Structure 1
Amino acid sequence: MIKAVEALANQVTQEHYDKGMIYPPLTNIRKISANIAASVAAKAYELGLATRLPRPADLVKYAESCMCTPNYRSYR
Structure 2
Amino acid sequence: SGSRAVTIDTTPPGAPVITSVMDNMGTVTGDIANGGRTDDTTPTLNGTAEANSIVRVYNGTTLLGSVQASGTGAWSYTPTA
TM-score (norm 2): 0.28
TM-score (norm 1): 0.29
Asked which structure has the greater CA Rg, the reply is: 2
Q: Relative contact order (C-alpha < 8 Å, sep 6+): which is higher?
A: 1
Structure with the higher helix share, 1 or 2: 1
